[in-house]
Amino acid sequence: MCEYNEGLLIENSMRPKARLIARLDVKNNYLVKGIHLEGLRKMGDPNVFATDYYNQGIDEILYMDIVASLYNRNSLGEIIERATRDVFVPIAVGGGLRCVEDVREALRLGADKVAINTAAIKDENIISEVAEAFGSQCMVMSIEAKRLPGGSDRWEAYYDNGREHSGKDAVEWARRGVSLGAGEILLTSVDREGLERGMDFDLIDAVCSVVDVPVIVSGGCGGAEDIARSALSGASAVAVASILHYKKADVRSLKERTFSEGVNIRL
């Protein structure tokens, strides 16, 4: 028995590791879901969903206020406070965080880390400022990427929830963000988002190959095979939305099938 357990531990330690994150996009205090970050459908109270996913065994929760940058504000404060009473896994928040004080307030309310996109594109210094104030582990650089036309193996970083061009190469922008102090990357394929037909593994491969920090990937996950393939490409976590929200899969079954695909994930 001891020999078997030791062998199993060695086998598991050699597997790529992955975390499963529930992504909850929020608009006006409601959980919403769209396709390509557009055509949003109202789904209900985000904390009801978050608590359910926590009880199922999710590793982290990611709240994104998807209209905050558009309206120059973040309205997740009450949602974060409520979540921390019922959910006891790391919580990340993003959307409308424009300065160190905004981040400080999010952390005070109970967030463990913050995801910043628009503000960083407009002034990259915020990456270093947040990392210096709270530690790199708190500063998650959010990148919303769209593939350039013509089947190119290049992607542009967008902001304002995938609405606005930045002119920045997404892969190079990821590299730059890490050099400025980002401790984690949240990489969303806008092209695949909401489709449940598979993730953009070319994009995942490209970004994971140029950064040495954890990469959370999002957009298009259709099941455990996508989670496993992402981990094999170097992603540290997969943020899942549609298949959980629409109950096409549950956390436990996703984790069990991902483990069976050769990935070390907490069961």
Alpha-carbon distance of 21 to 65, in angstroms, equals: 16
The answer to whether residues 133 and 104 touch, using CB atoms and an 8 Å cutoff, is yes
Q: Point out the catalytic residue in the list 60, 102, 144, 226.
A: 144
The Cα–Cα gap between 71 and 85 comes to 28
Residues with Cβ within 8 Å of residue 106, at least 6 apart in sequence: 74, 76, 77, 80, 93, 97, 114
Q: Between β-strands 113-116 and 164-169, what pairing exists: parallel, antiparallel or unpaired?
A: unpaired
Measuring CA to CA, which residue among 50, 133, 146, 122 is closest to residue 93?
50
CA distance 93 to 184: 13
Task: Please indicate whether residue 25 is annotated as part of the active site.
Answer: yes
Cβ 44 vs Cβ 5: under 8 Å = no
Residue that the structure tokens 């982290």 belong to: 60
Listed as own residue / partner, the contacts of 99-107 with beta carbons closer than 8 Å and 24 or more positions apart are 99/126, 99/129, 100/126, 100/129, 100/130, 100/133, 102/74, 103/130, 103/133, 103/134, 103/138, 104/133, 104/134, 105/77, 106/74, 106/76, 106/77, 106/80, 107/134, 107/138
Q: Would residue 123 show up in a list of annotated catalytic residues for this protein? A: no
Query: Which residues are the active-site residues?
Result: 25, 144
